[in-house]
Amino acid sequence: MPSISIAATDGAGSFAAFLAEPKDKPAGAVVLIQEIFGVNASMRETAQQIAELGFFVLVPDLFWRIEPGVDITDKSQAEWQKAFALMNAFDFAKGIADLKATLAAARALPGANGRAGTMGYCLGGRLAFMMAEQSDADINISYYGVGLDSLIGELDRIRSPLVVHIADKDEYFPAEGRAKLLAAVQGNAHIAPYVYPNADHAFARVGGIHWHARSAWIANGRSAEALADALG
């Protein structure tokens, strides 16, 4: 599969990032942030779909420091156990550093227009929210990020658009936490939160067990419009 190598900023080595390219250039770029299943078939297909919208897409292997090349699904208990073990071992600070390196690489791709944002799911949804607070990304989009209410202390650092897609039956983001987040972002001109009725965690995962077509289509349409506005 097409990929590029990105050097880690802490000198620990380099990591791979799946690359999907748009037909027309110059174009903006999206750093697509994985779930706990690695850069798997679902993430690669999502990357291709975003490229068809007219953007470069880089999907960095964020588990490379633990186990490079993780590519599993949500279809078996053994895979779920491995996915949770990887998430529990994941270093968020180093992950953010790797995402910043990927963002810089995305802006420098041949044919890129210099504008770049992030979009992430689950673990990636939390990381996209963190990138809104800690990076200069031109836009950030979070799908069913976990534990987002623990990040509201730094909302004043957000300077670019942040789109937050929230499932109202998300077992990994309880109602109390969702309510706390929604109250905290109310009136913030940079943040657009959307709640999807009857949708569970991972409602937009391509081929996933919790796929919810109505919510996914509406959320993806909002994301596409936000990306076009921010990235060109």
Catalytic residue annotation: 170, 201
Contact between 9 and 102 (Cβ < 8 Å):
no
Task: Identify each DSSP E strand in the chain by its residue range.
Answer: 3-7, 14-20, 27-33, 56-60, 112-121, 140-143, 162-167, 191-196
Helix, strand, coil in percent for the chain, rounding step 5:
40, 20, 40
Give CA–CA dist 161/141, Å, rounded.
8
Query: What 3-state DSSP class applies to 13?
Result: coil
Closest CA to 145 of 162, 168, 163, 120: 120
CA distance 109 to 217: 29
Crossing angle of the two packed helices 123-134 and 92-107, in degrees rounded to 10: 70
d(CA 29, CA 59): 11
Rg, the chain, Cα only:
16
Residue the block writes with tokens 């953007």 = 55
